[in-house]
Amino acid sequence: MPAVRQKLLRWYDTAARDLPWRQTRDPYAIWVSEVMLQQTRVETVVPYYQRFLASFPTPRALAEADEDAVLSHWSGLGYYRRARLLHAGVKEVVTQYGGRIPEDADSRRSLPGVGRYTSGAIGSIAFDKEEPVVDGNVTRVLARLFRIDTPVGASATTNRLWDEAAQLVPGERPGDLNQALMELGATICTPKRPQCKSCPIAGECKAYASDEVDALPVPRARKAPKEVQLAAVVATRGRGSEVEVWLVRSEQSLFGGLWGLPMLGREAVDESDARRALREARISARLDPEPAAQIAHVLTHRRLQIDVFRATAARGTESETLRRFDPQQLGRVGISTLTKKLLAAALPG
């Protein structure tokens, strides 16, 4: 283990990418970066991270922001539940800890949205605590390094990975050690065509020694994406430059807290579903009987086929879950990439 640690740290000192969250030890900034990086590519995260911290530079600034402002900064990044949990966690930091991220691991783990990985990243990088991390990249490195041949996601595999990570992290620079593991998985120990000859720990890698690198880690069984048919309604009021669009705030887990179109789904959709979507949103309008557009949109576990209907002269009573917006306002509230796509397909002009 000491040899592996030393080689990883030496390699990291010369090979680490210059990323903005690596220029700080601020636990709040590290927390933001780690939440954004969950299931999202580094190059996508960088501009979001920079804009987010420019608008919400401290825990208190984020805690005092309304949810629309927070979600508007997340718009397009996906997995919006992350943003809501981050917002809730930071509010608790302000109320319970005076705006200071707690150094104690148990206190960190008690915050909304902070699991073992996020807590370990904050603890090791910001506070120099000997706390392990295991994400997708670290999983791949450790599965190959120790030749772990049980499926990813199985409890035995998860326990083994965290045990191995916990044995590696003790020593100098635990935060850099964890980041070295993540960096190695992102740039060298990649899922396909890993660059084993450039790997600083190839000599210790059991998968490399047994010519099993491409076979590890053993993937979890994946379900085929679920096919979902939806009817969505772009309900407008006014014309030309005066047009406004009605949106509803969803509390479903997929787009929770975001503003979106009235929408209804079942195995096959038609005009009656669009009318029902309007009724459930409590909007009265003149509905075009034929779809204005048909949009396909792929999510991680779902493949959406959406018939987009237009409705005009739309009226309703504004509330916390129903509002009309000038299209120019939409950049200041949280809407999903899907909603942007549907609006672009059906809004006049």
Residue type, 301: H
Residue 66 CB-density burial (10 A; 0-12 exposed, 13-18 middle, 19+ buried): exposed
Contact 262, 295 (CB under 8 A): no
- Backbone Cα Rg of the chain: 24
List C-alpha distances in Å: 37 to 44, 87, 185, 267: 9, 16, 14, 34
Backbone angles phi, psi at 197, to 5 degrees: -70, -15
Token representation of residue 222: 């994946």
Lookup result for tokens 């939409």? 330
Write the CB contacts of 338 (distance below 8 Å, at least 6 apart in sequence): 255, 260, 297, 304
How far is Cα 130 from Cα 133, in angstroms, rounded to an integer?
A: 10
Distance of CA 130 to the CA centre of its chain: 26
Which uninterrupted H or E stretch holds 184? Answer: helix 174-187
How far is Cα 238 from Cα 234, in angstroms, rounded to an integer?
A: 13
How far is Cα 275 from Cα 180, in angstroms, rounded to an integer?
A: 54
For residue 34, indicate whether it is catalytic: yes
Which residue, among 121, 146, 147, 122, has the nearest Cα to 134 in the 3D structure?
A: 121
Contact 139, 193 (CB under 8 A): no
How far is Cα 208 from Cα 196, in angstroms, rounded to an integer?
A: 8
Contact 101, 93 (CB under 8 A): yes
Active-site positions read: 34
